[in-house]
Amino acid sequence: MSITYLETIGLPLLAYLLGSLSSAIILSKILGFPDPRSEGSNNPGATNVLRIAGKKAAFLTLVGDCLKGLIPVLIAMTVTDDRLLIAATGFCAFLGHCYPIFFRFKGGKGVATAIAVSVGFNWIIGSIIIAIWLLFAKVFKISSLAAIIAFATLPLLIFWLEDTVSTTLIFAAMSAILIWRHRGNIQRLIQGTEG
DSSP string, 49-96: HHHHH-HHHHHHHHHHHHHHHHHHHHHHHHH---HHHHHHHHHHHHHH
Rounded Cα–Cα distance for residues 167 and 96 (Å): 19
Alpha-carbon distance values, 46 to 8, 63, 152 (Å): 31, 9, 21
Could you give the number of structural domains in the chain?
1
Question: Residue 3: its pLDDT value, please?
Answer: 67
Range of 167's domain? 5-191
pLDDT digits (tens, 9 = 90+) for 119-155: 999 999 999 999 999 999 999 999 899 999 999 999 9
Question: Residue 45: its pLDDT value, please?
Answer: 87
Residue 169: band (very low, low, confident or very high) from pLDDT cuts 50, 70, 90: very high
* Predicted structure pTM score: 0.93
pLDDT digits (tens, 9 = 90+) for 29-83: 999 998 998 888 888 988 889 989 999 999 999 999 999 999 999 999 999 999 9
Q: What is the mean pLDDT of the chain?
A: 94
Is pLDDT at 1 greater than 80 in this prediction?
A: no
